């Protein structure tokens, strides 16, 4: 884990590389212990886990039991409606705080 300069409450824990049998590792007692430790030690922090796409790997489904909420990232031109609906079906017990449209080609319009 490392801190990011200028962001006191942000700590990153990057993955080094792909791991064989990652979904089994994510469902393990060791992972449960790490998540429990992070929640109890850093109660005033928001912990974000970046997981592979739900329909491309088992990792998000394996890890869903540890998540308190989800933020679904949808790729413009990559994600189709049926895949998004299927993702919500598979993660029906998880609360979602929103969605992000990634890679949009539409110009950003701001109104204040």
- pLDDT computed for residue 88 by the predictor: 95
Torsion angle, CA of 83/12/17/78, rounded to 10 degrees? 20
CB of 2 closer than 8 Å to CB of 12? yes
pLDDT of residue 84: 95
pLDDT 10s digits, 46-88: 778 888 899 998 889 998 988 889 999 999 999 999 999 999 9
Phi/psi for 60 (5° steps) reads -65, -40
Q: Comparing C-alpha atoms, which of 11, 10, 31, 8 is closest to residue 21?
A: 31
pTM for this one? 0.75
Q: What does the pLDDT look like over 3-57, one tens digit per residue?
A: 888 887 777 777 777 788 888 888 889 889 988 888 888 767 777 888 889 999 8
Residue 92 has pLDDT above 90, yes or no: yes
CB count within 10 Å of CB 20 equals 6
Question: Residue 1 pLDDT > 80, yes or no?
Answer: no
Residue 53 has phi, psi (to 5 degrees) of -55, 140
Domains and CATH numbers, the chain: 2-14+22-102 (3.40.50.300)
């Amino acid at each position: 884990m490392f801190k990011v300069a200028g962001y006191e409450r942000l700590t990153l824990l990057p993955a080094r590389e792909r791991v064989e049998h990652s979904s089994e590792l994510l469902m393990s007692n060791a992972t449960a212990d790490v998540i429990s430790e992070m929640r109890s030690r850093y109660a005033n922090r928001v912990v974000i886990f970046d997981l592979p796409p739900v329909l491309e790997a088992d990792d998000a489904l394996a890890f869903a039991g540890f998540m308190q909420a989800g933020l679904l990232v949808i790729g413009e031109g990559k994600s189709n409606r049926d895949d998004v609906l299927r993702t919500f079906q598979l993660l029906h017990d998880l609360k979602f705080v929103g969605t992000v449209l990634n890679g949009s080609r539409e110009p950003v319009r701001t109104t204040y």
